[in-house]
Chain A
Amino acid sequence: MSHSVTVSQPETMGSMFRSEEVALVQLFLPTAAAYTCVGQLGELGLVEFRDLNASVSAFQRRFTVDIRRCEELEKTFTFLQEQVQRAGLALPPPEGRLPAPPPRDLLRIQEETERLAQELRDVQGNRQALRTQLHQLQLHSAVLHQDQGPPLAAALTDGPSSERTPLLPPHEGPHQHLRVNFVAGAVEPHKAAALERLLWRACRGFLIASFRETERPLEDPLTGEPVTWMTFLISYWGEQIGQKIRKITDCFHCHTFPFLEEEAARQGALQQLQQQSQELQEVLRETEWFLSQVLGQVQQLLPPGQVQVCKMKAVYLALNQCSLSSTHKCLIAEAWCATQDLPTLQQALHSSSSEAGVSAVAHRIACRDMPPTLIRTNRFTASFQGIVDAYGVGCYQEVNPAPYTIITFPFLFAVMFGDVGHGLLMFLFALAMVLAENQPAVKTAQNEIWQTFFGGRYLLLLMGLFSVYTGFIYNECFSRATTIFSSGWSVAAMANQSGWSDTFLSQHPLLTLDPNVTGVFLGPYPFGIDPVWSLATNHLSFLNSFKMKMSVILGVTHMAFGVLLGVFNHVHFGQGHRLLLETLPELIFLLGLFGYLVFLVVYKWLRVSAAGAASAPSILIHFINMFLFSRSPTNRPLFAGQDQDEDKAGLLDSPGASEKGWSSDEEKAGCAGDEAAELAASEVLMHQAIHTIEFCLGCISNTASYLRLWALSLAHAQLSEVLWAMVMRVGLRMCGEVGVAAVALVPIFAAFAVMTVAILLVMEGLSAFLHALRLHWVEFQNKFYAGTGYKLSPFTFAIQEE
């Protein structure tokens, strides 16, 4: 379900039964044409290069210089991209096919990019300087503006006028001839209070300070955000006080400006400032326009440039993995290629090297290593192959469990999730995703949770579909049973024949139907579980027995199928002896014990009826006795001679188990390509003994593990039942006026719907998904699947083009 690179050539999709044949090819690339050849191979995405220079460090390889240049160019690209994004513009996606450019083009791209980057830096520097200047001017004019109210200290110098009464009594004596000076400036608002306090403490009584906010917020040159400043005007007298004040304002990083006492002079200065600021804004506008031009050029150049340089770097990295031939005339490369693609490979090499005199060739060589696994999938099978690969990629040409998983995984999920209503909701959700899968809005969504669900839409589709089917069999639709056919149990017959009068019924709150009474049980319900059980208080007694037996039957079938798939592996790898020494004992053990258990279950279903219900044999006790070679006298046999047969079966299975231990020592070859020297015979014997014990114990624990099918379906049914009984039924049972119930049902249904989706669909769905996955990964696949291979990851530009 992740966006892995798949070799997506749907027209040649082979069978998924086992991975494709992959060959090791040796490529001879003439030096002149090597770059174009590898570029062409990257476009096709056919081969995976092997690193022939593994012992050489990255700095000493042949094309390191070119890679460095590409990386420097990428750094410049990143810088340009940041600038474009900071300006709020979008980069258009590159259009058309852009092949990896020839090396001589790199210089041109590099020059253009450097030029644009330099221009961008210059223009932005200029703009910054202009904005800072403008900010200063604006601050200055705001400071000069702040003398709106009566200037307090000015009253002293202007002389008492009729309108202004001096607030300070004119001092006699030495103070009368002291000049009042002003300090005016601006400070950031959060420092204003501290500044005021400090001024007061330091120069107590010898100054008057007034603080005022600027009317409009000014644009901060660095961040571009509007910031209000506090302008202040301090009037003081005395030289030392003046020095102290200046030191304090410097400390607080305030901007101070000269404050002229004459009002007319101030007005003149203000006008000059305004003129300057207007001119500055004009220049700023021009700069911004030029900047947008440069950014437009960057927008055009950047996307194709990025793609091209990325491809070039990838080609050089691939070329670094090739070794030089002794004559220095051509590069030798080793690559894995699917046998099916060999003609295409040769065609591509031939066409890309036709300009150079010598053409590139490819020929197969033998290999001892295990080749990579290649399984071609389409968008439907990709998610199923994905969940198999998440556990382990298969060994080369091993049987692939994925085609069976397409059906068995949704089926086992549905066994644990069976409910018509919930299954239908899941199916519709998946259907909506599948029908909308080609819409661009859906494809480019970035949300990870959505990507996960969207990637598994076909999985969800099948899971929902099978859940509807198993929901019909379990006869559960939002926990309610349906009577599509009439029930096979007749309450009327029981009531009439047992004399259940009304008084009798009122005295007995619970009564059981007896199948021994004629006419009560009329035959098995033709499709699924009889609806009468959903009305019964003892329905779990029946359902538990049914579901446990169902789990064991499904489990044994699934595991036997897994063992049989191993046969294909043994035949393909030419290990026929393993058929006799592994598969046969495994089957005998599995079917002899658990196949016999399944037989007992089915036999009891068919032959033991209600007439003999009181003394019905217990399969469990019989099975335990079989293991212990003992008898229980109170437990009657299911069929004549059962005890003797069980003794024989028990005896047969022990040699079967031990036969596995003696599998021959041709095992040392392992799953193709094991380069280790001959393993000692004792090691092989140990390995086989472990495998035997593992299989025998595993059989028992794996069969028991399938009981989770019962457990989860029970949990789902009970949760569903509780939700209905506690939420919906409360609303439906409301008596009183019709209108009251109708109005109350709206929030009740809303709660029911939300909890159904959240608890039953999401939580239970994830839970059942996880357990079905575990059953596949562990119980099914450990019967035949090794999963220790690696995928063929071809050299391709497909990722870069995303």
Chain B
Amino acid sequence: MTAHSFALPVIIFTTFWGLIGIAGPWFVPKGPNRGVIITMLVATAVCCYLFWLIAILAQMNPLFGPQLKNETIWYVRFLWE
């Protein structure tokens, strides 16, 4: 099993949603809908980034682990290696 780093996903996703939410508004073409589209981009970036962040922060330091049935252990023990 490979260890999951914490820093790498944070960098990737922060950059991704940052591009959409902060850099994206600069590229919206001028037109009557410009304001609405910028609002949509920023709101999407904030909502989705926050949601992903909550999910990963909640799992960073687990206080307890999963309770598995013995059948599952038998199977997964060798499957996920």
Using a CB–CB cutoff of 8 Å, the interface residues on chain A facing chain B are 10-17, 378, 381, 403-404, 406-408, 411, 415, 469-470, 473, 485-495, 500, 502, 505-506, 508-515, 520-530, 532-533, 535-539, 541-542, 545-546, 549-550, 553-554, 557, 602, 605-610, 613, 616
A509–B72 CA distance with the chains assembled, in angstroms: 10
Q: Is the CB of B65 within 8 A of A605?
A: no
Contact pattern, B 39-76, Cβ under 8 Å of A = 1, otherwise 0: 11001100110111011111111111111111011101
Q: Most chain-B CB neighbours within 10 Å: which of A378, A485, A491?
A: A491
Q: List residues of chain A with CB within 8 A of the CB of B51.
A: 411, 415, 469-470, 473, 550, 554
Q: A473-B51, A541-B64, A550-B58 are in contact. Are A485 and B4 (CB under 8 A)?
A: yes
Q: Is the CB of B50 within 8 A of A513?
A: no
Q: List residues of chain A with CB within 8 A of the CB of B9.
A: 524, 526-527
Q: List residues of chain B with CB within 8 A of the CB of A485.
A: 4
Interface: B77 (CB within 8 A): yes
Q: How far is the CB of A477 from chain B (nearest CB, A)?
A: 16
Q: How far is the CB of B74 from chain A (nearest CB, A)?
A: 6
A529–B55 CA distance with the chains assembled, in angstroms: 7
Inter-chain pairs besides A411-B47, A473-B51, A608-B61, 20 sampled, C-beta below 8 Å = A415-B51, A490-B80, A491-B77, A492-B1, A495-B77, A505-B74, A511-B73, A512-B64, A513-B66, A522-B4, A523-B5, A524-B56, A524-B60, A525-B59, A527-B9, A527-B52, A536-B67, A538-B64, A546-B55, A613-B63
Q: Is the CB of B2 within 8 A of A489?
A: no
Q: Is the CB of A515 within 8 A of B65?
A: yes
Q: List residues of chain A with CB within 8 A of the CB of B5.
A: 523
Q: Is the CB of B59 within 8 A of A520?
A: no
- Enumerate 5 A-B pairs (CB-CB under 8 Å) in ascending A order: A491-B68, A491-B76, A535-B76, A538-B67, A546-B59
Q: List residues of chain B with CB within 8 A of the CB of A533.
A: 66
Q: Most chain-B CB neighbours within 10 Å: which of A407, A506, A538, A608?
A: A407
**Residue B39 contacts which of A13, A403, A502, A538 (CB distance < 8 angstroms)?**
A403
Q: A522-B3, A526-B9, A613-B63 are in contact. Are A535 and B72 (CB under 8 A)?
A: yes
**Residue B33 contacts which of A13, A486, A508, A546 (CB distance < 8 angstroms)?**
A13
Give residues 27-41 of B contacting A (CB, 8 Å).
32-33, 35-36, 39-40
A502–B55 CA distance with the chains assembled, in angstroms: 35
Q: Is the CB of B61 within 8 A of A407?
A: no
Q: List residues of chain B with CB within 8 A of the CB of A524.
A: 4, 6, 9, 56-57, 59-60
Give residues 11-39 of B contacting A (CB, 8 Å).
32-33, 35-36, 39
Q: List residues of chain B with CB within 8 A of the CB of A502.
A: 74
Q: Is the CB of B47 within 8 A of A407?
A: yes
A487–B4 CA distance with the chains assembled, in angstroms: 9
Q: How far is the CB of B46 from chain A (nearest CB, A)?
A: 8
Q: Is the CB of A13 within 8 A of B32?
A: yes
Q: Top 3 nearest A-B pairs by Cβ distance?
A: A523-B4, A536-B66, A513-B65
Who on chain A is nearest to B1 by CB? A490
Q: Most chain-A CB neighbours within 10 Å: which of B2, B40, B54?
A: B54
Q: Is the CB of A17 within 8 A of B35?
A: yes
Q: List residues of chain A with CB within 8 A of the CB of B65.
A: 489, 494, 512-515, 520-521
A493–B1 CA distance with the chains assembled, in angstroms: 9
A424–B47 CA distance with the chains assembled, in angstroms: 19
Who on chain A is nearest to B58 by CB? A546
Q: How far is the CB of A294 from chain B (nearest CB, A)?
A: 52
Who on chain A is nearest to B45 by CB? A407
Who on chain A is nearest to B32 by CB? A13
Q: Is the CB of A512 within 8 A of B67?
A: yes
Q: Is the CB of A525 within 8 A of B4?
A: yes
Who on chain A is nearest to B35 by CB? A15
Q: List residues of chain A with CB within 8 A of the CB of B1.
A: 486-487, 490, 492-493, 522
A528–B57 CA distance with the chains assembled, in angstroms: 10
Who on chain B is nearest to A611 by CB? B61
Q: List residues of chain B with CB within 8 A of the CB of A492.
A: 1, 77-78, 80-81
Who on chain A is nearest to B38 by CB? A403
Q: Is the CB of B36 within 8 A of A381?
A: yes
Who on chain B is nearest to A535 by CB? B72
A508–B67 CA distance with the chains assembled, in angstroms: 12
Who on chain A is nearest to B60 by CB? A524
Who on chain A is nearest to B63 by CB? A613
